[in-house]
Structure 1
Amino acid sequence: MLKFVFWLLAAINLLVLAIGQGYLGSFRSETREPARLQAQLQADKLKLLSEVQAQAIVTPPAAAPETPAAANAPQSYACTEVGSFLLADGRRFEAQLDALALGDRQSRRNVPGQEISSYMVYIPSQGSKEGADRKAGELKQLGVTNYFVMGEGSPMRWGISLGVFKSEDSAQSQLAALNKRGVHSARVGPRYSASKQLSYQFRDLDAATHARLVEIKAKFPEQELRSCK
């Protein structure tokens, strides 16, 4: 009987020792976090991340900024147009374009326009035939007899023409003579007629060539340089 009790106690002690050393596994359902990490495969390679670090991994990187090569690409001008030139001025403009050697990047086209054909000395519209007749009577009293009342069919109807001249200087001389005779309501204005004019287009110009074109155009200050399609 004593031997049985001795061996029973010895067996119990061995069982307690085995459980304490973990030879029979753990019966606890809860394990602290550091111990659980150690139990993972390759636990030494795991790394805890902060919220900022985790967000940096999820968010894609921003697009790369424009490269210096793209920012410094040479400027070009797809389409530039100059004019409308009267025929004589257009020929002079063309002659100066030869130095640019543009070839088929240069083109010319005809555009409708108007040109000054003469200059008129006139008194503006008096509003009605009666008003024009009264003004004509005043002219007669001042000794002016060379006049013409413009009627219904004229764009300056009920005005009075005091002469048409080829040059502006001649028209201004007539106006000065009328002022001396007491006619102070007269003035000088251009008369226009329809004409064909010339417009020039230039394509795919680099900045240097465009600058040279601007210099040539500056010799024709009445003309406009603009972008086109």
Structure 2
Amino acid sequence: MLKFLLCFLLVTNAGLFALQRGYLDALLPDQPDPQRLQLQRDPERLRLLSFEAATAPVAVAAPVTLACIELGDFSEPEAVHFEAALGALDIRSTPVRRRLAEEPASQIVFIPSQGDKEGADRKSAELRRLGVKDFYVLQTAGERHFGISLGVFRSRGAADVRLAELTRQGVRSARIGAFGNTGSRFAMQLHDLDDAGVTAAIELAATVAKVARRECAAR
């Protein structure tokens, strides 16, 4: 009996030793580690790659070029309108307002001061003889006091047309000057725009005013 137990222990120890060393792996069926299987995520999406596919260079996306544009010229109300409308677009750029040169609100075609009321009356009579009817004597104090207004216009082009008409009628002393308060003009700079942002900003500006596009330095 003692010999039997001794033989049994020797055989058992030899079997455990062989199992630990892996000598019996060929005799055992494959049994994946269940814990590792539970840790796998989306195992059905795994696929084997060929050597060529595994070693092929990875394509790198080209960097996106960002631009800076300046749109102008806006009057102050137009600039405010553009800024407000810009907020509704998907453009992640805060506009920077830049003040441009001041320009007169209106243009006046006029004859300079005649010195006093009598001089203004004589000039008025001369204009009537030439067939000019649309005029009045300037009464506001200043360098044009007792001058003759021949028309006030919102644009220089319209004033030029009026001056040419008066010249054909024989009026030689008329000229064009600024009239009324001056108004500021503004340009709006937009930084870090992609191509879609540039297109959207230009299209929006065209709905607000007739503006020019200029490039500006990136920040």
- TM-score, scaled relative to structure 1: 0.43
Q: Which has the larger radius of gyration?
A: 1
